[in-house]
Amino acid sequence: MNLPIKRYDLPQIMFGVLFIALMTIASIWVVQPFILGFAWAGMVVIATWPLMIKLQKVLWGRRFLAVIIMTLLLILLFVLPIALLVSSAIENGAPLVAVASNPSILHMPDFHWLNSIPLVGHKLYIGWHALINGGGNALMSKMQPYVGQTASWFVVQAGHLGRFIVHCSLMLLFSALLYSRGEQVAMGIRHFAVRLAAERGDAAVILAGQAIRAVALGVVVTAIVQSVLGGIGLAIAGIPYATVLTVVMFVCCVAQIGPLLVLIPAIIWLYWSGDNTWGTVLLVWSCVVGSLDNVLRPVLIRMGADLPMLLILSGVIGGLFAFGMIGLFIGPVVLAVSYRLISLWVNEAPEPDMAPEEALKALDE
């Protein structure tokens, strides 16, 4: 029996694919100004959706009241603090650059208090001054231009206030829309995933939401707690520009560097200026703040999703380098979904039951 040969219209296929590609590129081009705001809104809404549902139950099941309150909470807890921090960075940036750019200010300290240490104090003092005379001040003078350039770069980055306000406004607008229509949007995404990859596509979407919530709880909340506690310690100890340093500390905590990159220089500065009491207080407080993530972060990540913590942290760091701040969520989501899908694919096959020697013999045969 001769089966009819199915003929393909190659030009029709080529032009169809070309048309779909052009429409996709044009659509991305049109919505490009809104992508970042929508992405941030999606991350925020996914992370805070359980809170919104609980709030809706408290408010007699009225969704619009819950949406209004959640939007106000986003303004109070997210937009206003960041706007104040950026404004403070801009206001304090000019004197900070002036200090960093002044060669007469950056010099090695005298450390006269070393003489008060019993037995070894005088030797330490003499050794320190021998180091200074051997080129310590010259080293500081060589470092000074780079310090000034670094401070200027941070101020310029903080000065992009207009773009920041636009993104925050779009984030608030899209967040309100997603809060009000969250179930429909989630079902639409899941429907597309099922059409694309059946049950595994649906599982990938659900896993992505869990990963986002895990990062928001484990990484972001831990960074906020550490930076706020560290900023309180800096302010109480009398460190200048404590607000700006709190912003830097938050960025370091999000990047998994930790708050000690800011706290240790502050401790050194206190001892440098002769304020040994507050230097010791800040040292003890820094030990508490610096070790807090070892306890708080694993607990919060487990609350969001049952994923390996090394996978989450690797995704956070890699995502930050690859995509910027939004990569804080994109990185863990990509790694978590890929990890689960590969695990499911591998587990479809039985585990090897032969010893390594027998496996090698079977290969030789």
CA dist., res. 8 & res. 6, Å (int)? 7
DSSP 8-state symbol, 259: T
56 inside domain: yes
DSSP 8-state symbol, 77: I
CA dist., res. 259 & res. 249, Å (int)? 5
CA dist., res. 88 & res. 94, Å (int)? 11
Say whether both 162 and 210 belong to one domain: no
Regarding pTM above 0.75, the answer is no
User: CA 353 → CA 120, 349, 356, 357, 364, distances in Å?
Assistant: 66, 12, 9, 12, 18
Q: Domain boundary at 180, 202, 232, which?
A: 180
Q: Residue 22's pLDDT is what?
A: 95
Q: Residue 139's pLDDT is what?
A: 47
Say whether both 235 and 111 belong to one domain: no
Which segments of the chain have a pLDDT < 50?
100, 103, 105-106, 137-140, 142-144, 146-147, 159
Say whether both 134 and 250 belong to one domain: no
Say whether both 132 and 84 belong to one domain: yes
* Contact by Cβ (8 Å): 359, 352: yes
Q: Residue 306's pLDDT is what?
A: 72
Domain that includes residue 251, residue range:
181-345
Handedness of CA 221, 226, 227, 233 (dihedral sign): positive
